[in-house]
Structure 1
Amino acid sequence: MKLSHKIAEYGGTRPFYTFEFFPPKTDQGFENLLSRISRLVSLEPLAINITWGAGGTTKERSLELAGLTQTEHGVDTILHLTCTNMEQGMVDDALRSAKERGIHNILALRGDPPRGEEYWIPTDPRFTHGADLVSYIKSSPEFASSFCVGVAAYPDGHPDRESDDDGELEHLKAKVDAGAEFIVTQLFYDVDGFLQWVKKVRAKGISAPIIPGIMPIQTYASFLRMTKLCGTRMPPNLMSDLVPLRHDDQKVKDYGVALAVQMIRKLVNEGGIRGVHFCTLNLERSVTRVLEDLGWAGGSPKVANKLISDTPVVPDSELVITPHNATDSATHTLSTAPSTDSEAGKGELNNATSWDDFPNGRFGDFKSPAYGETDLWGSSIMSRKQALQQWGHPHTLDDLTTMFMRHLHSKIATTPFSPTPLSPESLMIIEHLERLTRRGWWTVGSQPAINGASSEDEVVGWGPRGGYVYQKCFVEFFAETKDLERIERKVKGQGQGWVDFFAGNVQGECRTNVPDGGRNAVTWGVFPGQEIAQSTIIEKESFLSWKNEAFSIWSEWASFYPPDSTERQLLDSIRNERWLVSIVHHDYMDPSALWTFLFGDDAVV
């Protein structure tokens, strides 16, 4: 059913809500997301949203997932669709595939010109702005009657545009005038600012339903990353509330739930909002807790409505952290939801119930539905402006080495592989990272060995207070074939079972000494009253997933320069000729073990 019709006909005594999911990067994560969705569907969302990767990078997975949620779970599904960087015919193909799967709702996204400007991959000339995509669908004899089309809006301003509020409202009005029938907003945390923005939207003559995007805070680090990426404005008290909690992941999650509840109550009571959109990031516990605390999950809808209408809005300064027993309540709801026997992880040390509690590091658990981060609106994290300002015009290998060294020395804030400044944790091993980088082995991931540090440690701590965390040392870098062969020989001859490695190239080759099915837990924690949590695991599938992403970054970076330029030729050659290498040393009790292996007798560096 079309979402515009569902909203118009919605007669529930509590506001409606929708859930957003992204296609996981691994087969196991994809299968296990289906189990997760089956549980969340029991909470009766009005619709489910499935994201679409930039340039159609997740096309097949997005269509498959959307088809399954639409047909097998019987929930109306909204398929995200981007026009930026979509090659000729891809939009038509996606719309036909959606139509075949019984999908009647599209969220048309990304109204910017291609970020690579004239040096980006060829795009369909029909689609320069988001309004073009809306207009194309709504004016097409083939698609107009089949789809209800929605668009995105940015209450805090578009992160990639410098236009003022009036300019952003003009962009939004153009999309609605082209035929958009509903609006889903980017995440925000300033409710007062959002309500003022809604008044401006209505004053502009835009009457389409507005569904505010709510993202419960999961971890302090991910909160900082997402709000920076989205250009989100912060209420004055938000950071002052979060900073004292930042080293206790459980308290951050509890705060995130309490804040989301507070925001939604205010949106409903003061703004008359009829529904909200949850950006789940493929996580289930926090969203479930929010709905339970609102009184919207289970029970009588009339009771849920009473909770909203009779509950006063608490001033932000009096925001109360949800007690830990809220977790028990949410867990009870999940345990009573439909379950499947196929969900992986059951009975394992790192079982399915703890996959997403305290994610730490890039890898996480490859079986988790939340494995592999995604941009909310299907766009790149890079821009040509950023590339030229921070990474310049590399003509030689030495230029690339200089760029990576400047990042290590905090002279530039990012590299194409590291969207944030060097972490304090990396500073613990910076002399070793410098040595590798000077060698031309540009490091893109690493962590020091940690043997039982407090979970409250400001640099390496994570998880609840009162625990201890452990790490094996690992490092990732790009190297030439001759260097990889030296590493392989030394691992075989001197590794003595303590050293594991993975190496992959853009051609799809993979070299490793890890047996099939082998899994290396490189980060784990021991906390009072719960099982050991393995939060970062390196094994073949997760490495290959990251390897593919890493080499696509070289391609994207190269696309910012003219096709025949020295910069493009250099970056393309790196992509085509080098290997991504990941090395783990299992002796976490010796912080120098990996570096002694690499730099000691018969050094490979």
Structure 2
Amino acid sequence: MKLCQKIAGYKDARPFFTFEFFPPKTDQGFDNLLPRISRLVSLNPLAVNITWGAGGTTKDRSLELAGITQTDHGVDTILHLTCTNMKQGLVDDVLRDAKARGIQNILALRGDPPRGEEYWIPTDPRFTHGADLVSYIKSSPEFSSDFCVGVAAYPDGHPDRETDEDGELEHLKRKVDAGADFIITQLFYDVDTFLQWVKRVRQKGIQVPIIPGIMPIQTYASFLRMTKLCGTRVPHSLMSDLVPLRHDDSKVKDYGVDLAVEMIRKLTTDGDIRGVHLCTLNLEKSVTRVLEGLSWVGGSLKPANRLIAMLQDASIGPDANLIITPHNATDSAAISLAAAGQGPDGEAGKGELNNAASWDDFPNGRFGDFKSPAYGETDLWGSSIMSRNQALEQWGHPKTLDDLTTMFLRHLHSKIATTPFSPTPLSPESLMIIQHLERLTRRGWWTVGSQPAINGASSSDEVVGWGPRGGYVYQKCFVEFFLERADLERIERKIRDEGHGWVDYFAGNVQGECRTTVPEGGRNAVTWGVFPGQEIAQSTIIERESFLSWKDEAFSIWAEWASFYPPDSQERRLLESIRAERWLVSVVHHDYTDPSALWTFLLKGDPVL
């Protein structure tokens, strides 16, 4: 059924809610998401949303997942669809496929826009803005009667900040005038400001339903990252409450649930807001607790789902300040090992390295458990986190290898805030090993991920602590960088001849080759914690599946960065050659008691280093 019709006919006393899911990057994650969706669908959402990767990068998985939710689970599904940077004809193909699967709702998004004079890869000329996609669907003889079309709105302003608030409201009105039937907003945390924005939207003559996007805070690190990427305003009172809790992950999660309940209650007392959109990040514990806190679900929960929720409540929550991807805690990925319970049917159980009941403790990321439904973070409704303005301002016009080395060094020295591989400044944890990262970078081995060795630091440590208080945390040192084939072969010989089993590595290139010392199926837990009354929590895992997933993403970043420069320019040729010729390598030393072990191994005896 079309969402616009369902909203118009909605008569329940309580407000409605929708869920949002994204297709995991791995087959195991995808398979383990399905029973999770089944349980959440039993809570009776009005619809579910399935996200769409930038430029159609998740096309097949998004369509497959949307077809499953629509057909197998019998819940009306809203398929996200971006229109820019899509191959010619792909929009038509997707709409036909969605129609064949019984999907009647589309969230029309702009995706990566042609900002100004950017040199984008040629795309379908019919689409440069979200309004173009709305207009196309609504005016098409083939599709106009088949789809209810929604659009996005940004109550705190679009992350690109290309125009002022009045300009953004004009953009929104153009989308609605083109035929949009409903609006779903980006996440926000300032309810008063949001309600004022709603009034201004109505004053513009926009009368379609507005569904506010609510994302419960999962961890302090992920909260900082998401609000930064989305340009979200964070009330001072929220930060004052959250900062004292930031090293206690279970308290952060509890606070996130309570805050979401408070926000939704306040929003839905306004008669204009009839329902909310819950961004799940493919996690079920927090959103279920939010709905129970609102008394919107609870009594109707099946016994099996009630037991699963109890098991999840017993699990641990690390990841407050864990650095595992581009030198910063906010991109870190962690999945804890829970102390109690057997995993639900269809998901990995307690016999696995990470108990399925613990998967909800973290928004997963690059180096978490590849079997988790949350493996592979969503990319903010198909939008890139890079822009040409950012590229030119911070990364300049690299024409030589030395120019790239200089850019990475400038980030290490805090002279620029980002690199294409790190959306935030260097973290305090990376400063502990900055001299080693600098030596590697000067060698032309551009570092994009690392962590120092830690031997029994307090879980309350301001820099490396995570998990419940009163515990101790441990880390093996690892570093990740791009290098040439000849240098990779030199490292491989060194590991073989001098590693003595203490050093392992993964290496991959854009052509799909993978080299490693880790046996098939091997998993390397490089971060773990010991906490009172609980099992060892192994929170960071490096293994083949997760490395290959990140490797593909890393090389796609080189391609996107290259697209910001004119075809045949020196900059584009350089970046495309790096993508074609270099390898991504991740090296870990297993002696966590010696903070210099990895660096001594890599750097000793090399006159350049």
TM-score higher than 0.5 here?
A: yes
Q: Is the 8 A contact 2:110 2:128 kept in 1?
A: no
Q: Pick from 411, 414, 425: which aligns with 2:415? A: 411
Give 1:36 shift: 1.2
1:57-96 alignment runs, 5 A limit: 57-96=57-96
* Partner residue in 1 for 2:250: 250
Give 1:45 shift: 0.8
1:433-452 alignment runs, 5 A limit: 433-452=437-456
CA distances 1:36-65 after superposition (whole Å, capped 9, x unpaired): 111111211111100000100110110011
Which amino acid in 1 is paired with 2:542? I
Give 1:346 shift: 3.6
Q: Is the 8 A contact 1:358 1:462 kept in 2?
A: no
Give 1:375 shift: 2.1
* Partner residue in 1 for 2:38: 38
Instruction: Give the 3 Å change call, closer, same or farther, for CA 340–353 of structure 1 in structure 2.
Output: closer
* Partner residue in 2 for 1:134: 134
Q: Is the 8 A contact 1:363 1:372 kept in 2?
A: no
1:66-465 alignment runs, 5 A limit: 66-110=66-110, 113-115=113-115, 117-299=117-299, 328=310, 331=313, 341-358=345-362, 362-465=366-469
Equivalent-residue separation in structure 2 for 1:449 and 1:30 (angstroms): 33
Q: Is the 8 A contact 2:19 2:279 kept in 1?
A: yes
Equivalent-residue separation in structure 2 for 1:513 and 1:291 (angstroms): 46
**Deviates most, 136-145 or 112-121:** 112-121
Give 1:524 shift: 1.4
Equivalent-residue separation in structure 2 for 1:100 and 1:482 (angstroms): 50
Q: Is the 8 A contact 1:480 1:579 kept in 2?
A: yes
CA distances 1:290-320 after superposition (whole Å, capped 9, x unpaired): 111111113279xxxxxxxxxxxxxxxxxxx
CA distances 1:386-426 after superposition (whole Å, capped 9, x unpaired): 00000001111111101000000000000000110001110
Equivalent-residue separation in structure 1 for 2:425 and 2:437 (angstroms): 14
Instruction: Give the 3 Å change call, closer, same or farther, for CA 115–510 of structure 1 in structure 2.
Output: farther
Q: Is the 8 A contact 1:524 1:532 kept in 2?
A: yes
Instruction: Give the 3 Å change call, closer, same or farther, for CA 166–391 of structure 1 in structure 2.
Output: same
Which amino acid in 2 is paired with 1:84? T
Does residue 528 (structure 1) correspond to residue 532 (structure 2)? The answer is yes
CA distances 1:491-547 after superposition (whole Å, capped 9, x unpaired): 111111111101000111111111100000111122223332222111011000000
Q: Secondary structure at the match of 2:361?
A: coil
Does residue 13 (structure 1) correspond to residue 16 (structure 2)? The answer is no
Q: Is the 8 A contact 2:52 2:81 kept in 1?
A: yes
Instruction: Give the 3 Å change call, closer, same or farther, for CA 205–505 of structure 1 in structure 2.
Output: same
Does residue 587 (structure 1) correspond to residue 591 (structure 2)? The answer is yes
Which amino acid in 1 is paired with 2:219? T
CA distances 1:428-468 after superposition (whole Å, capped 9, x unpaired): 11111011000000000000011111111111111122221
Instruction: Give the 3 Å change call, closer, same or farther, for CA 153–530 of structure 1 in structure 2.
Output: same
Q: Secondary structure at the match of 2:541?
A: strand
Equivalent-residue separation in structure 2 for 1:289 and 1:204 (angstroms): 36
* Partner residue in 2 for 1:562: 566
Q: Secondary structure at the match of 2:528?
A: strand
Q: Secondary structure at the match of 2:269?
A: helix
Does residue 541 (structure 1) correspond to residue 545 (structure 2)? The answer is yes
Q: Secondary structure at the match of 2:94?
A: helix
CA distances 1:60-99 after superposition (whole Å, capped 9, x unpaired): 1100111111111111110000011112101001101111
Equivalent-residue separation in structure 2 for 1:362 and 1:30 (angstroms): 15
Give 1:376 shift: 2.0
Equivalent-residue separation in structure 2 for 1:168 and 1:117 (angstroms): 20
Q: Secondary structure at the match of 1:466?
A: coil
Q: Is the 8 A contact 2:312 2:360 kept in 1?
A: no
Which amino acid in 1 is paired with 2:165? D
Equivalent-residue separation in structure 1 for 2:185 and 2:527 (angstroms): 36
* Partner residue in 1 for 2:480: 476
Which amino acid in 2 is paired with 1:104? Q
Q: Is the 8 A contact 2:364 2:377 kept in 1?
A: no
Q: Is the 8 A contact 1:446 1:476 kept in 2?
A: yes
* Partner residue in 2 for 1:315: none
Which amino acid in 2 is paired with 1:202? R
Instruction: Give the 3 Å change call, closer, same or farther, for CA 566–373 of structure 1 in structure 2.
Output: same
Give 1:361 shift: 7.1
**Deviates most, 237-246 or 429-438:** 237-246
Equivalent-residue separation in structure 1 for 2:370 and 2:191 (angstroms): 35
CA distances 1:1-43 after superposition (whole Å, capped 9, x unpaired): 1001111111212111000011111111111111211111121
Q: Pick from 489, 495, 502: which aligns with 1:498? A: 502
Equivalent-residue separation in structure 2 for 1:57 and 1:486 (angstroms): 35
Equivalent-residue separation in structure 2 for 1:360 and 1:33 (angstroms): 13
Show structure 2 runs of 5+ residues with no match.
302-307, 315-342
Instruction: Give the 3 Å change call, closer, same or farther, for CA 84–474 of structure 1 in structure 2.
Output: same
Which amino acid in 1 is paired with 2:151? V
Which amino acid in 2 is paired with 1:135? S
Q: Pick from 586, 594, 599: which aligns with 2:603? A: 599
* Partner residue in 2 for 1:307: none
Q: Is the 8 A contact 1:23 1:62 kept in 2?
A: yes
Q: Secondary structure at the match of 2:403?
A: helix
Q: Secondary structure at the match of 1:434?
A: helix
Does residue 489 (structure 1) correspond to residue 493 (structure 2)? The answer is yes
Instruction: Give the 3 Å change call, closer, same or farther, for CA 327–528 of structure 1 in structure 2.
Output: farther
Instruction: Give the 3 Å change call, closer, same or farther, for CA 300–570 of structure 1 in structure 2.
Output: closer
Question: Scaled by the length of structure 1, what TM-score is found?
Answer: 0.92
Q: Is the 8 A contact 1:349 1:532 kept in 2?
A: no
Equivalent-residue separation in structure 2 for 1:202 and 1:299 (angstroms): 37
Give 1:469 shift: 1.3
How many residues matched?
A: 577
**Deviates most, 503-512 or 350-359:** 350-359
Instruction: Give the 3 Å change call, closer, same or farther, for CA 127–272 of structure 1 in structure 2.
Output: closer
Equivalent-residue separation in structure 2 for 1:116 and 1:574 (angstroms): 26
Q: Secondary structure at the match of 1:69?
A: helix
Q: Secondary structure at the match of 2:449?
A: strand
Q: Secondary structure at the match of 1:119?
A: coil
Q: Is the 8 A contact 1:288 1:330 kept in 2?
A: no
Equivalent-residue separation in structure 2 for 1:112 and 1:29 (angstroms): 26
Percent of pairs with identical residues: 84
Equivalent-residue separation in structure 2 for 1:460 and 1:194 (angstroms): 35
**Deviates most, 37-46 or 266-275:** 266-275
